[in-house]
Amino acid sequence: MTAQKIIDTGNHIAGYACRAARAEVIAAYPITPQSPVVEQIAEFVEKGEMDAKYIRVESEHSAMSACIGAAAAGARTFTATSAHGLALMHEMLQWTAAARLPIIMSVVNRAMGPGWNIWADFSDSLSQRDTGWLQFYCADNQEIFDTIIQAYKLCENKRIAMPAMICHEGFILSHTSMPVEIPDQSEIDEFLPAYKPAWTLDVNNPVTHGSLIYPEWYMEFRYFMHKALDNAIELIPEIDKEYGRRFGREYGGHLERYRCDDADLLLLSMGTIGSEAKTTVDRLRNHGHKVGVARVRVFRPFPKEQIQDLAENSRMLTVIDRQISYGMEGPLFTETKASLYEKENSPLMTGYIAGLGGRDVTYAIIDEIARKSLKELKLGRVEEEVRWVGLRK
Amino acid sequence: MTPMGKKPRTIKDLPHTPLSLPKTGSAGETGFWRTFCPVFDMSKCTGCLLCWIYCPEGCIERDEQDRPKVDFKYCKGCGVCANECPVDAIEMEREV
C-alpha cells in the first residue's frame, strides 16, 4: 500500500492511525463524540484489514481493564473515549501507568456534565493530569494521525514504558473532514516495529503484577514513573524529528512555535485554539504588532524548560485555557507561571478562560484578547490576572 | 525489569513496576480467616477438578488419584468451590 491522501474526519483518522500502528487488541465502549473512532476500527477488523482482536465491553472501566490485560500479555493495544467515559476509567488509568503499560488512547475532548454537554472542552482529560499518562493535544486531523504513530514509538521505548492519551477536540476535529496523508505502510512498519515488552504475563513463567508494596518501597516505584516522564521530555522532540525526516511532517516537539522569534507578546494555548490563533497573529503582524503563538502539544510531561526558553525574549505571555480549575485558574496558566517562577524579570502574564462547553473561539475573539494584552503591555500591568472570555452579562 | 525473587537491598534491585514471583502463603497463613469450611463428599465427587480451577487462592491441590484436596492452612472458606461444583459434592459448614 503506497502513501495516499484521503479526506476524512478526525475520529476516522484516529482509526486509520490505529490500523497503521498495527494495534493487536482494541477494547472500547462507545460515547459521543468518540464513537466513530471505534466504529472505524470495528469496520477495519470486520473487513480483515486489521489483524486484531476487538473486544466489546460493558463500560469504559472494563475497556481499560481489558486493555491492561492485553498489554500485560504483550499486545499492542488501543482504546478511545470521551468525558464521562474517561472519568469512569479513572481508577484503571492509575493502574495502567503504575503497571508501566504503553496503552495508547484517543481522547475526544468533551465537557463534563451536568449540564449535559457533548461539545469541546478539556475538562475531561485535564482532570486526569496526575494519573501518570502522557497527554498530547492535536490541532488538526493530520496531527492526530502522526501523533498516534509517534506516541506508540515513544511509549513503547523501555526508558518510558508509560501510556499516552492523544487528545482532539469533540466536533471541531472529531466530526470535521480534512485532507490527511496516510504514509506507505512499509515505511510506518520501519518507523514503528512490533512491540517488544520488557516483561509479559506468561503461564510458563508466572509472575504477579501489581502486588502489595509496603511503605518502605512504594515511593521508589512512583519515582520511577516520574523519571519515565522526565525521559519523555528528552525523547519527544527526537522522535518528532525522526518522524519528520521519514514522513516530511514534524510539530516542534513539545510545542509548535509560530512567529515567536521576535514577538513581544506571546499567546499560549492548546489544541485548535492554538492553531486558530495563528490567523490572529498574521493579522496583527500585518498591522505591525510583534505577536506570536506557542501551541503546547504536550501537557504531561509539561515542557517547563521550553516555556522558559520562549519567555526569554518576550515581554508578555497571554494564556488561553479551554478549562477552569475551580477555585484557581486555567491549568495551562498555572503550569506556565510555575515554569517561570525561578526566572528573573519574568514577562507580564495573564490568563483567559475561553471556549468551555464548545463555545466557539474564533480568530476575532483571540484578536480582542491579544489587543487588550498589547495595551496592557504598554501600561506595564494587567487589569485582571484571570478573565473569562465572552461571559454573558 | 526482572521480577523480584528476593528482598531488595537498593533501588537498583527493583523492577520498574511491582512484579513478584509466586510463593506459597506470601500473605501468611490465611486459613484462620475461615468462617465456613468446605466439606467434600468424595462419594459424589467425579474428579472434574472445576473446584481446583476456580479456587481463587490456589489452595486446592490434586492428590495421587488426581482428586481435589484442600490445604486448610490457606483456605479462607470463600465457598467458590461449593458454588462451582456441578454435582453438589461440597457443603459449606460453619466452623466458627
Each residue's pLDDT tens digit, B29-52? 999 999 999 999 999 999 999 999
Domain of A69, CATH number, reads 3.40.50.970
What is the value of ipTM here, to two decimals?
0.77
Tell whether A242 and A260 lie within a shared domain: no
User: Domain span at residue A336?
Assistant: 255-388
pLDDT over 90 at A168, yes or no: yes
Which of A186, A219, A247 lies at the terminal end of a domain, its last residue? A247
Q: Which residue of B lies nearest to A198 if distances are taken between CA atoms?
A: B1
What's the pTM value of the predicted model, to 2 decimals? 0.93
Residue B22 lies in a domain: no
Tell me what the mean pLDDT of segment A128-133 comes to: 98
A103-117, A131-145, A199-213, A284-298: lowest mean pLDDT where? A199-213
Q: Which of A168, A189, A165, A167 is nearest to A178 (CA)?
A: A168
Residue A212 is predicted with a pLDDT of 83
Tell me what the mean pLDDT of segment A11-29 comes to: 98
The C-alpha cell that represents A273 in the structure block: 485554539
Q: How crowded is the C-beta side of B45, counted as CA atoms within 13 Å?
A: 19
Tell me what the mean pLDDT of segment A121-134 comes to: 98
Gap between the Cα atoms of A158 and A139, Å rounded: 28
Q: Measured between CB atoms, which of B18, B21, B22 is closest to A221?
A: B18
A202 touching B, CB under 8 A?
Answer: no
B21 touching A, CB under 8 A?
Answer: yes
Tell me what the mean pLDDT of segment A190-217 comes to: 90
Interchain contact, B8 vs A217, CB within 8 Å: yes
User: Helix H segments across chain B?
Assistant: 50-54, 80-84
- Considering only CB atoms, which chain B residues are within 8 Å of A209? 17-19
Residue A1 is predicted with a pLDDT of 61
B4 confidence band (pLDDT: 50, 70, 90):
low
A203 touching B, CB under 8 A?
Answer: no
**Where in A253-354 does DSSP place strands (E)?**
255-258, 265-269, 291-296, 298-300, 316-321, 348-353
Residue B62 is predicted with a pLDDT of 95
Tell whether A234 and A310 lie within a shared domain: no
Tell whether A273 and A384 lie within a shared domain: yes
Residue A357 lies in a domain: yes
pLDDT over 70 at A275, yes or no: yes
A72-81, A296-305, B19-28, B52-61: lowest mean pLDDT where? B19-28
User: Domain span at residue B85?
Assistant: 30-94
Residue B52 lies in a domain: yes
Residue A41 is predicted with a pLDDT of 98
Gap between the Cα atoms of A154 and A138, Å rounded: 16
DSSP-derived secondary structure letter, B30: G
Residue A368 lies in a domain: yes
Residue A131 lies in a domain: yes
Tell whether A237 and A301 lie within a shared domain: no
Q: Characterize the bridge pairing of strands B68-70 and B60-62.
A: antiparallel
Q: How crowded is the C-beta side of B26, counted as CA atoms within 13 Å?
A: 14
Domain of A288, CATH number, reads 3.40.50.920
Tell whether A177 and A296 lie within a shared domain: no
Residue B3 is predicted with a pLDDT of 54
Q: Which residue of A lies nearest to B17 if distances are taken between CA atoms?
A: A99
Residue B1 is predicted with a pLDDT of 41
Q: Using an 8 Å Cβ cutoff, are A20 and A149 in contact?
A: yes
In chain B, the number of structural domains is 1
The C-alpha cell that represents A375 in the structure block: 495595551
Q: Which of A147, A60, A124 is nearest to A323 (CA)?
A: A124
Tell whether A269 and A236 lie within a shared domain: no
Q: Measured between CB atoms, which of A161, A212, A217 is closest to B16?
A: A161
Tell whether A104 and A167 lie within a shared domain: yes
Closest chain B C-alpha to A217 CA, distance in angstroms: 9
A100-114, A207-221, B77-91: lowest mean pLDDT where? A207-221
In chain A, the number of structural domains is 2
Which of A205, A225, A247 lies at the terminal end of a domain, its last residue? A247
Residues of chain B above pLDDT 70, percent: 95
Residue B85 lies in a domain: yes
Gap between the Cα atoms of A331 and B82, Å rounded: 53
DSSP secondary structure, A51-95, as one string: --EEEE-SSHHHHHHHHHHHHHTT--EEEEE-HHHHHHHHHHHHH
Closest chain A C-alpha to B49 CA, distance in angstroms: 19
The C-alpha cell that represents A315 in the structure block: 515581554
Dihedral sign, Cα of residue A231, residue A234, residue A240, residue A242 = negative
Tell whether A243 and A265 lie within a shared domain: no
Residue B60 lies in a domain: yes
Residues of chain A above pLDDT 70, percent: 100
Q: Characterize the bridge pairing of strands B90-94 and B36-40.
A: antiparallel
Q: Using an 8 Å Cβ cutoff, are A31 and A60 in contact?
A: yes
Which of A247, A278, A296 lies at the terminal end of a domain, its last residue? A247
Residue B35 lies in a domain: yes
Residue B51 lies in a domain: yes
Domain of B85, CATH number, reads 3.30.70.20
Q: Which of A370, A361, A358, A353 is nearest to A290 (CA)?
A: A370
pLDDT digits (tens, 9 = 90+) for A304-354: 999 999 999 899 999 999 999 999 999 999 999 999 998 888 899 999 999
A36-40, A82-86, B51-55, B92-96: lowest mean pLDDT where? B92-96
